[in-house]
Homo-oligomer: A and B are copies of this chain.
Amino acid sequence: MKSYLDCIPCFFDQALRAVRVATNDEQKQKHLMDELGKRLSQISLESTPPETGRLIYRMVREISGNDDPYRELKRQSTQQTLALYPALKKEIDTSKDSLLTAIRIAIAGNVIDFGANAEFDIDAALKETLQQDFAICDFAEFKESLEACNSILFIGDNAGETVFDRLLIEQMNKPTTYVVRETPVINDAVAEDAVMAGIDKVATIVSSGTDAPGTILSLCSDEFLQMLDRAEFTIAKGQGNYEGLSNESYRIFFLLKTKCRIIARDIGVNKGDIILKGINL
């Protein structure tokens, strides 16, 4: 997905939230905003939002001197969701359609996003998402691809959400490779976050090689690109991965909650909708 003019105020909003997590020094916070302002003319609307996100979070790291501002918040999110794991496992096991329930839960976990949101309530999101109608639901195609494949490539998104991804991986029950970011960016999951969520017990954890808060192929490692090329069944979670991959030619199933009205408009749904959308089917 390309960027829109509406993304610009939001870039400044995200930058402000991130630098406030990274440092309490108001001069550094203002400096970050000023620097982003100076670079704005170099940000093309043809680039995807996570490319600008990558630039912003690099600047936050440089200006604050803090390499992983969200580390503690990621740890907290993961612990909070791990506590929910047993009850959610039971919810899936006892539901009429266990696979669809696991998908819903994986989507609910997608609210844990310090990039898109200032605040979120994971319990409320679970309750809502378990009852919400899908705005797009390519479930038949998803199921067919799952049944036909020998292995799954699962591109993760945020720390904490990883625990809910684990439940879906367990439910799908096929050899799975779980993709994380190479280096910390916002609260996106890196390898240590995935391990903390127990993903290592159910999948092989690999990095896409990027420090962008999304999957932008030109910024990914050759190793990851080869995996994507060879993948039989690819799942991508969240907005950042959608923004990076929505115009690519791979067959990918996106699982996400639209937390931004611009992305919602790009998909053709409303903000707050839940989506199971396959592309290049």
A40 within 8 A of B: yes
B12 to A16, Cβ gap below 8 A? no
Query: Is the Cβ of A36 less than 8 Å from the Cβ of B37?
Result: yes
Among A37, A38, A40, the one with the most B-chain Cβ atoms within 10 Å of its Cβ is A37
Q: Could you say which of B5, B6, B33 contacts A8, with CB atoms under 8 Å apart?
A: B33
Contact A33 B10 (CB under 8 A): no
| 8 Å CB contact of A38 from B9, B13, B33, B37 | B37
- How far apart sit A40 and B31, CA to CA, in the bound complex (Å)? 10
CB of A34 closer than 8 Å to a CB of B? yes
Question: A26 contacts the other chain (Cβ, under 8 Å)?
Answer: yes
**Bound-state Cα–Cα, A160 to B100, Å:** 52
Number of interface residues of A (CB under 8 A): 20
Taken together as a complex, chains A and B put the C-alpha atoms of A41 and B38 apart, in Å, by: 8
Q: A5-B16, A8-B16, A10-B9 are in contact. Are A34 and B30 (CB under 8 A)?
A: no
Q: Contact at A29–B16, with CB atoms within 8 Å?
A: no
The residues in A between 181 and 207 inclusive whose CB is less than 8 angstroms from any CB of B are none
**9 nearest interchain CB pairs?**
A37-B40, A37-B37, A34-B41, A9-B13, A9-B12, A9-B9, A8-B33, A34-B40, A12-B12
28 examples of A-B residue contacts, CB within 8 angstroms:
A5-B16, A5-B26, A5-B29, A5-B30, A5-B33, A6-B16, A8-B12, A8-B16, A8-B33, A9-B9, A9-B10, A9-B12, A9-B13, A9-B16, A12-B12, A30-B45, A33-B40, A34-B40, A34-B41, A36-B37, A37-B37, A37-B38, A37-B39, A37-B40, A37-B41, A38-B38, A38-B40, A38-B41
* Interface residues in chain A, defined as those with a beta carbon under 8 Å from any beta carbon in chain B: 5-6, 8-10, 12-13, 16, 26, 29-30, 33-34, 36-41, 45
